[in-house]
A = this chain, B = another copy of it.
Amino acid sequence: MNRRIVIAELPSGAVAERHFRAETAPLPSPGPGEVLTRTLFASLDPVNRAQMRGRTYRDGLDVGDVMPAFTISALEDGTLVAAEGGWQEHAALPASSLAPIDAGGGPLSHHLGVLGLNGLTAYFGLLDVGRVAAGETVLVSAAAGATGNVAGQLARIHGARVVGLASTDAKRRLLEERLGFDATLDYRSPTLSRDLKGCCPEGVDVYFDNVGGPLLDAVLPRMNVHGRIVCCGTLASYDADAAPPGPRAVPGLLISRRLRMEGFVVVDYADQRATAVRRLTGWVKSGELVVLEEIVNGLDAAPAAFVDLLAGGNVGKRLVRVSA
């Protein structure tokens, strides 16, 4: 049998545990070109919330669908693969969609975070889109998140001054004391604009933006001439039914400050992935890149952990151990 978590109801507004339902189904039987996989770890990612908006998205979910997730799965012969197995113990997946993983002696879970989509997103976003240079100031939103914390650390490794935006004192302390951020800010501060000015006295050269929304509005006036805004995520609107108003400084300030604002997705960098994983692995092994990871146990814990993730409860990468 196959334990799995499906959508019980499409949320409007904030996602809640009642939008999910656990059930037990027969073991899936692979169709032509498919193989049976066993889920070891399932990644919890805010972007999966967007898929719950239903028909607005082409690959939108419907009630009864298994909740999607990137997974580390095992084939029947034990081969480890990166997959999109979802919140279930077993999945029948197209063989062509699976990428073998060489755990290389390190923790398998890292391949869903720092060496997986989050780490690669931080890497290509900061280095290829952001083109960070030593001595520049890099500002990171959702800096204690799975991608943000790696982006900030990579900026530090490349000689930049790093300022992180986070929501709690505990997160801010962690960023400054364990991850080497030069300064942090509470993005909900009523004096945010002034705080940004104080923390970035020489302006911001690269804004690694995981959030969008009003925070982007507040950051734009702090951007230096020829600054770059790395558009990585829109956490501010994942739980909203409509996109928030756009930033008023666009496009006027982009012109006067010669700013570049650029979106990207990591799948476009498939040809450089191996190099990136090798470099990230090196920094993890040397201790320059600290790994922040939260592992919750068992599929039944996934809904609550996901709801809390969207409310900003996570520190670093949060994932679910589905089976040993």
A222, CB-defined interface residue at 8 Å: no
Which segment of A26-34, A68-76, A231-239, A279-287 sits at the interface? A231-239
Cβ A231 vs Cβ B246 within 8 A = no
CA of A217 to CA of B245, assembled, Å: 11
Nearest B-chain residue to A238, judged by Cβ: B252
CA of A244 to CA of B246, assembled, Å: 10
**Binary interface encoding of chain A residues 247-288 relative to chain B, with 1 for a CB under 8 A from any of its CBs, else 0:** 111111111111111111100100000000000000000000
Number of copies: 2
A103, CB-defined interface residue at 8 Å: no
| Residues of B contacting A42 in the complex (Cβ-Cβ under 8 angstroms) | none
CA of A248 to CA of B234, assembled, Å: 12
Nearest B-chain residue to A217, judged by Cβ: B246
Cβ A260 vs Cβ B258 within 8 A = no
CA of A246 to CA of B243, assembled, Å: 12
A89, CB-defined interface residue at 8 Å: no
A130, CB-defined interface residue at 8 Å: no
A93, CB-defined interface residue at 8 Å: no
| Residues of B contacting A264 in the complex (Cβ-Cβ under 8 angstroms) | 255, 258
| Residues of B contacting A249 in the complex (Cβ-Cβ under 8 angstroms) | 243, 246
A212, CB-defined interface residue at 8 Å: yes
Cβ A258 vs Cβ B265 within 8 A = yes
Q: 10 tightest CB-CB pairs across the interface, nearest first? A: A246-B246, A254-B263, A255-B263, A231-B251, A246-B247, A260-B262, A231-B254, A261-B261, A246-B248, A243-B248
Given A217-B246, A246-B246, 20 new contacts (CB under 8 A): A212-B252, A216-B251, A234-B251, A234-B255, A237-B252, A245-B245, A246-B249, A247-B250, A250-B261, A253-B263, A254-B262, A255-B264, A256-B263, A257-B263, A258-B262, A258-B263, A258-B265, A259-B263, A260-B260, A260-B261
Seen from chain A, the residues whose Cβ lies within 8 Å of a Cβ on chain B are: 209, 212, 216-217, 229, 231-234, 237, 243-265, 268
Q: List 29 A-B contacts (CB under 8 A).
A: A209-B251, A212-B251, A231-B251, A231-B254, A231-B255, A234-B251, A234-B252, A243-B249, A246-B246, A246-B248, A246-B249, A247-B250, A247-B251, A250-B250, A251-B261, A251-B263, A254-B262, A255-B263, A255-B264, A256-B265, A258-B263, A258-B265, A258-B268, A259-B262, A260-B260, A260-B261, A260-B263, A261-B262, A262-B262
